[in-house]
Each structure stands twice: as C-alpha cells, then as structure tokens.
C-alpha cells in the first residue's frame, strides 16, 4: 500500500442502474477520475471511473464491472486508492496524509511525544492524531507551521512545537 494513496470512498449506490455515490478526498475533487484505475484497499479489485454528475457530498459515478444497484450497495464504505506515481507532485511544504501517518513526533528539544496515528480534516484545518506510551489519551495537534515547524519524511519524524499544556 505504500505505492498507493487513498483518494476517495464509496458511500453507496446512487439510483438503481449501478452508479455509486463517490466522495473524493482530492484537492480538486473532480480530479479523482484522472487518477484511475482506482483500487480497493486490499488491491483485489480495480475500477475505471467515470463521473456522471455532482451530487450532495460528492459525485455520482460509474465504475467498471458495477452494473446493478446491489453491486453498488455492496461497495458501501469501500475506500479507493490510486497509484502514487499518477498523483501530482506536491510543493515542498505540502504532504499526502498517508505520508504523515506513522511519523515519530518529537518536540523542539528532541523528546519523543508519540506517533501520528491519523490525520483529520473537519474543515478548519488538518489535525494530527498523536498516540504515545506516555500519553493518557489521544492528542490532536493542529497541523500548522506554528505547531509543526518541520516535517522530515526521510528521517520518519516531525518536529512539534505544541501549545502549552497539550501534552501534559
């Protein structure tokens, strides 16, 4: 899966003729079709994608091999992945969420705070979900230049300068 990045998810059938409701996680939502073929998380299924129209929460889309409402319904909750090499290159200060997950988090003094478990985007900016052995509960760290001044993918870590009291 390191060669693939999650670009969308199927939220169920749309209509009765085999279309799916497709939610895009791409910066330009309609670009999801440009990254086809898309694969299921386990890589066992592969789909070409044709967006048919925008709908609330995403797009109605046709996937190869899906011809009935029942087949479309069976895909509800399926996350779709694109090969990394078909995705656009990112500027130096931008990252795919998949690249941040698993990074070690250290503070500006070099003390290990935990690891990035997930990245959440609820509309107001990304939050890094940090888990660690010394933490009483999960910590949500804003993914801003102020709170995360350095991300070093090659070293597998990021440096955090969290607000006071966040990790105590």
- Residue 42 has a pLDDT of 93
Mean pLDDT of the chain: 92
Lowest mean pLDDT among 8-12, 40-44, 46-50, 121-125: 121-125
104-150 confidence digits (pLDDT tens): 999 999 999 999 999 998 778 899 999 988 788 899 999 999 999 99
Q: How far are the Cα atoms of 51, 96, 116, 124 from residue 33, in angstroms, in the given order?
A: 7, 18, 29, 26
Domains annotated for the chain, with CATH where assigned, are 4-85 (2.40.30.60), 97-160 (2.30.30.240)
Q: Is residue 49 over pLDDT 60?
A: yes
> pTM for the full model?
0.78
Q: How far are the Cα atoms of 34, 97, 98, 137, 155 from residue 23, in angstroms, in the given order?
A: 14, 16, 17, 30, 33
Q: Is residue 94 over pLDDT 60?
A: yes
Structure token pair of residue 3 = 């060669």
* Proportion of the chain above pLDDT 90, given as a percent: 77
- Residue 2 has a pLDDT of 65
End-to-end CA distance of the chain: 34
Q: What is the mean pLDDT of residues 57-80?
A: 96
- Residue 27 has a pLDDT of 84
Q: Is residue 1 over pLDDT 70?
A: no
H-helix or E-strand spanning residue 131: strand 126-131
In which order are the strands placed within the sheet that holds 4-14?
A: 46-47, 38-40, 79-83, 4-14, 19-24, 58-63, 49-55
Question: Read out DSSP for 67-124?
Answer: -SHHHHHHTTT-EEEEEGGGSPPPPTT---HHHHTT-EEEETTS-EEEEEEEEEE-SS
What span, in angstroms and rounded, lies between the C-alpha atoms of 97 and 5?
A: 9
């Amino acid at each position: 899966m390191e060669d693939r990045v999650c670009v969308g998810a199927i939220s169920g059938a749309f209509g009765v003729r085999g279309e799916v409701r497709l939610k895009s996680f791409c910066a330009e939502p309609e670009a999801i079709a440009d990254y086809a073929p898309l694969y299921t998380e386990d890589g066992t299924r592969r789909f070409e994608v044709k967006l048919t129209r925008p709908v609330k929460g995403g797009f109605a889309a046709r996937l190869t091999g899906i011809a009935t409402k029942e087949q479309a319904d069976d895909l509800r909750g399926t996350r779709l992945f694109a090969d990394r090499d078909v995705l656009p290159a990112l500027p130096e200060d931008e990252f795919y969420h998949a690249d941040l997950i698993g990074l070690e988090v250290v503070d500006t003094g070099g003390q290990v705070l935990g690891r990035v478990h997930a990245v959440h985007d609820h509309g107001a900016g990304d939050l890094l979900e940090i888990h660690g052995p010394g933490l009483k509960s999960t910590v949500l760290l804003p993914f801003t230049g102020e709170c995360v001044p350095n991300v070093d993918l090659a070293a597998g870590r990021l440096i955090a300068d969290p607000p006071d009291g966040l990790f105590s």
